[in-house]
Amino acid sequence: MSTLLESIYGIALEAGVAIMDRYHGNIQVSEKADSSPVTEADLAANTIIVEQLKALTPDIPILSEESAHTPWPERQHWSSFWLVDPLDGTKEFLRKNGEFTVNIALIENGKPILAVVHAPALDKTWLGDSEKAWLQTKAGRDPIKSRPATVPTVVGSRSHPSPDMENYLEQLGEHKMTEVGSSLKFCLVAEGRAQYYPRLGPTMMWDTAAGQCIAESAGATVKQLNGEVLSYHREDLLNPHFLVAI
């Protein structure tokens, strides 16, 4: 484990504490321009992450869901940058089902090379460095690896069902289906608890980068439906549809 990854892990934990401090209280919700919800927990976690990343790596720019987004004419020259979703799964946070995460990924030449996905309500953290992936729990830290199954499990979105999913599942054949929120879907594939995560609805860059790194570090692939790798060096913050698979 690199020192940098350990530092990101510590930042994610601190952001998780700030989120959980607000989880059981009276949650104040605002609506962003795209009609998606944002809470005090999102903003508090964002402040912690952005301030600490700036202190840790002052020369690496940051693109976060909850901060002003640097325009493409400047961003296109970034060879590396941090991609952050301080609270992925705000709808799950509001439902109090525990299925929300802190996502921090380091992007280099369009590829996520280092990442942490922290689920504070579940007391679990997934870490990846492009070569290996780990799951951290109270019991300790163990390596994880994606793996096939005789009857594959497909993981899908709890809050964003897609009309195209039914057609995909028919083509897949025999399978099991499970639903879970946020970037936890990537992590289930990384752990070998699921084999496919088809995303046939909208996601943003910050929703997927950390999870993609965890899944790829565990041996899975994350590709657009045309077979191209999902890259993060692009103007559009909206992701194309993609498939996570073993």
- Inter-helix orientation angle 40-56/3-23, to 10°: 160
Q: Compute the distance between CA of residue 246 and CA of residue 244 in angstroms, rounded to an integer.
A: 7
CA 202 vs. chain centroid, Å, equals 14
pTM: 0.95
Regions of the chain with pLDDT less than 70: 1, 158-162
For the segment 32-71, what is each residue's pLDDT rounded down to a tens digit?
777 788 999 999 999 999 999 999 999 999 999 999 999 9
Residue 109, CB half-sphere, CA atoms under 13 Å: how many?
A: 0
Give the pLDDT score at 161: 62
Q: Compute the distance between CA of residue 106 and CA of residue 180 in angstroms, rounded to an integer.
A: 24
